[in-house]
Amino acid sequence: EKGALDMGERPATLGAIERAIHACARCPIGELHNTAVMGEGPQSVAEGFSGLMIVGEQPGDHEDQQGRPFVGPAGQLLDVHLAEAGIDRSAAYVTNAVKHFKYVPKVVRGSKRRLHQNPSAKEIDVCRWWVESERMIVQPRLVLAMGASAARGMLGKTVSITKARGSPIPLDGIDGVGGSELWVTAHPSYLLRLDGAGREEQERLFRIDLAAVAARLAELA
Ligand code: URA
C-alpha cells in the first residue's frame, strides 16, 4: 500500500491503538516522549456516530497537555465553523494524522515555549498506520481531512488543498472493510495565521467546504 509501512497485525480496537501509540517511537516525534493524543468520539451508530471522521495534523501544545484533539485555539475555531455548518462535533470521530506534538523548545521573552513544527512526509507516513487503523475500526462514510498533512495521512501522497477541495476522493476499504469518501479542506490553524481580506476569503472557502460535507452527510443518512 502506498505511503504505509507494514507494522504487523492491525490493532482490533481503539483501546489497543491508544495503548500502542503511547509506546510508539517509530519516528523521531515519538522519541520526544510527550503525550500521544488519541482520537475521540463515538465509533458506532449505536453510540451516536454520524459517520463523519474529522482528521487534523497533529496535537498542538494544548492538546498535548490535555491529551485530547482540537481543544486549543484551532479547535475553538473549528467548533465555531462546525456549529455554523450544522455539524455535530460530538457525533463525529475527531483525530489527527500524527499522534504526537512535534515542536522545538524555544525561550521567548524569558519564558519557555514549544514551537510547532510541521511533520515530515515520512513521519506522516509512519503514523498513517495508526490513523488508517482508526478508520478501519470506526468505518466512517465521510472523512474530512483538514490541511495537507491530514490529506497525506489519509491518501499516502501529497495533494494540493486548492485542487482537492470541493470534490470527494474515494478511499479504499482496508483489509476488505468498507471504504470512505475523503473531503479535503484547509486547516483551521492556517486560517488563524491569516488576517484581513486573506482571512475572510479563507474562512469563506472553509465554510463552503463544511457546508458541502454537511449536505453530503445528510444525503447519506
Ligand atoms: N491542530 C491539529 O491539527 N490537531 C489538533 O488536535 C489541534 C490542533
**Which domain CATH number covers 118?**
3.40.470.10
Percent of the chain with pLDDT over 90: 80
Is 200 inside a domain boundary? yes
74 C-beta closer than 6 A to ligand 1 = yes
Residue 88, domain member (yes or no): yes
Q: What angle (nearest 5°) sits at the alpha carbon of residue 93, between those of residues 72 and 55?
A: 60
For residues 141 and 181, the answer to whether their CB atoms sit within 8 Å is yes
Give CA separation, 130 vs 15, 17, 158, 203, in Å: 12, 7, 18, 30
Is the ipTM value over 0.85, yes or no?
Answer: yes
* Residue 195 within a domain: yes
Average pLDDT of the segment spanning 45-51: 96
In terms of residue numbers, what domain contains 79? 14-220
Taking the model in full, what pTM does it have?
A: 0.94
**Would you say the CB of residue 96 lies under 6 angstroms from ligand 1?**
yes
Share of the chain above pLDDT 70, in %: 95
Chain mean position to CA 181: 15
| Helix (H/G/I), strand (E/B), else coil: 111 | strand
Q: Is 153 within the bounds of a domain?
A: yes
Mutate which of 82, 96, 130, 187 for ligand 1 pocket (most atoms within 8 A of beta carbon): 96
Does 189 sit in the ligand 1 pocket, CB within 6 Å? yes
**Does some domain include residue 22?**
yes
Mean pLDDT over residues 127-151, rounded?
96
In one-letter notation, the amino acid at residue 185 is T
Q: Report yes or no on 80 lying in a domain.
A: yes
Cα atoms in the 13 Å half-sphere on the side-chain side of 13: 3
> Structurally, how many domains does the chain consist of?
1
**Going along the chain, which residue ranges are E strands?**
52-56, 93-96, 103-108, 111-116, 142-146, 169-171, 180-185
**Least confident range of 50-59, 97-106, 211-220:** 97-106
Q: Say yes or no: CB of residue 35 within 6 Å of ligand 1.
A: no
Report the alpha-carbon angle 158-78-196, nearest 5.
85
Residue of 197, 202, 96, 188 whose CA lies nearest to 151: 96
The mean of the pLDDT values for the chain is: 93
